[in-house]
Amino acid sequence: QSQAFESGQFRAYADPKPVSKNAFYNNQGEKIPLDSLPGPRALLVNFWTTWCTPCREEMPSMDRLQARISQERLMILPLVRDGKGISEASRFYRTHEITHLPVAADRFGKISYDHRVGALPQTLFVDQQGMVKGMLIGAVDWESEPVLQLLNSCLNLGLNETTSR
């Protein structure tokens, strides 16, 4: 089943698979297994690069969405795939005043490989049990009503346009 948005396409997985056990790197250089993050919270894993125009365009709305929702309910994890990784992502965050999202990298592309990530941006929807429920391909306005409805239906978050922490 797929759902079209203004500039993105969501594909729900009929047979959800566990999120990758491979690790990403945070801005302190620590390796963190991706499958350690879900729990009581759902997870959006966004694959992006700083040279990808649609990736850059969706990042501010993703940051505002995370500002509205407690990380105990939903964690948004952008994983940069640039060769320059963390340093380039940190510079991008500073320049564009991205303050609510962690700086992290899929340094060796193992997580991208596990989830067959191709064109960017792509975002995995991971439920509270660590199962990947679907993937959004392309950039979207993360604060739009259709996207909030998708988050609700896919991840049971109980969001609306006025949702806050």
**In this structure, CATH architecture of domain 2-155:** 3-Layer(aba) Sandwich (3.40)
Q: What is the pTM of this model?
A: 0.90
Helix, strand, or coil (residue 5): coil
Q: Are strands 74-80 and 2-4 parallel, antiparallel or unpaired?
A: unpaired
Query: Would the pLDDT of 119 be above 50?
Result: yes
Helices (H), 9-165: 53-68, 85-95, 110-114, 145-155
pLDDT at residue 146 is higher than 70: yes
- Give the pLDDT of residue 7: 56
Side chain identity, residue 10? F
How many whole angstroms separate alpha carbon 43 and alpha carbon 72?
10
The span from the CA of 66 to the CA of 75, in Å, is: 7
**Which residues are within 8 A (CB) of 76 and not within 5 positions of it... i.e. 6 or more apart?**
43, 44, 46, 62, 65, 66, 101
In this prediction, what percent of the chain has a pLDDT beyond 90?
64
Q: Which residues 6+ apart lie within 8 Å of 23 measured at CB? A: 31, 32, 33, 34, 110
Work out the average pLDDT over 14-40. 91
Torsion of CA 57, 74, 160, 156, to 10 degrees: 120
- Token pair, residue 93, equals 């965050």
Beta strand 74-80 with 42-48 is parallel
**pLDDT the model gives residue 3:** 52
Average pLDDT for the chain: 88
